[in-house]
Amino acid sequence: MREQGENVYYYSGKLTKEQVRYLSPKLVISYNYKYIIPEEIIRCIDGQILNLHISYLPWNRGSDPNFWSFVDNTPKGITIHRLSVQLDQGEILLQQEFSFDETVETFRTTYEQLNDGIVKLFQENFIDILNHKIKSYPQRGTGTFHTRRDREVFLDGQELDWKETIGDFKKRMNLQ
């Protein structure tokens, strides 16, 4: 974005309405951001907050989307969507579906591929996003949602080995 001549501010703390008003950004990007952005900030920026999410929405909203795509056997992918008051339910701008070989891939390799993919998708479309040339559309279907606690309950004290193949993990957890 800087290469395109844009001023870029990186912030990982809890965003406030005062900060947003002071900076008056054209666009806010939420990417691996650990806080829920409040409704008053979403409304203050009038739909110009986008979330880069490593799931194929409406599947795997919320926490640990890559993990749940394999556990629930739902579509895998990436989505750039408008931030909404309802978590991960905003209108979609761009999506890309992925497929993985579970006998070879691990949670780490799939996570890295999805992250690389979302960065590339955003970079390739940044100018069109900024200039409102990409028409958003509503999410279709019910999809799924998980909290961080859901993963803890599912694993029931067992460790998630990021280097274990997905196939071996599924065998160990009796998912096949």
| Statement: residue 62 has pLDDT above 90 | yes
| Statement: residue 157 has pLDDT above 80 | yes
How many other CB atoms sit within 10 Å of the CB of residue 166?
Answer: 23
Mean pLDDT for all residues in the chain: 92
| Statement: residue 2 has pLDDT above 80 | no
Interatomic CA distance for residues 83 and 41, integer angstroms: 10
What pLDDT sits at residue 44? 83
| Statement: residue 79 has pLDDT above 80 | yes
| Statement: residue 121 has pLDDT above 90 | yes
pLDDT band at 87 (very low <50, low <70, confident <90, very high): confident
From residue 62, give the alpha-carbon distance in Å to each of 16, 33, 82, 151, 166: 22, 12, 15, 11, 21
pLDDT in tens, 4-56: 777 788 888 898 889 888 888 888 999 988 888 888 888 888 778 999 999 99
Q: Are 162 and 156 in contact (CB under 8 A)?
A: no
Helical ranges in 27-161 per DSSP H: 39-45, 65-71, 107-130, 148-155
DSSP 27: -
What pLDDT sits at residue 12? 85
How is residue 29 written in tokens? Answer: 């990007």
Q: CA angle, 170 as apex, 166 and 77 as ends, to 5°?
A: 45
Q: What is the mean pLDDT of residues 135-151?
A: 95
What pLDDT sits at residue 45? 82
Q: Facing residues of 76 across strands? A: 98
Structural domains present in the chain: 2-172 (3.40.50.170)
Q: Are 92 and 125 in contact (CB under 8 A)?
A: no
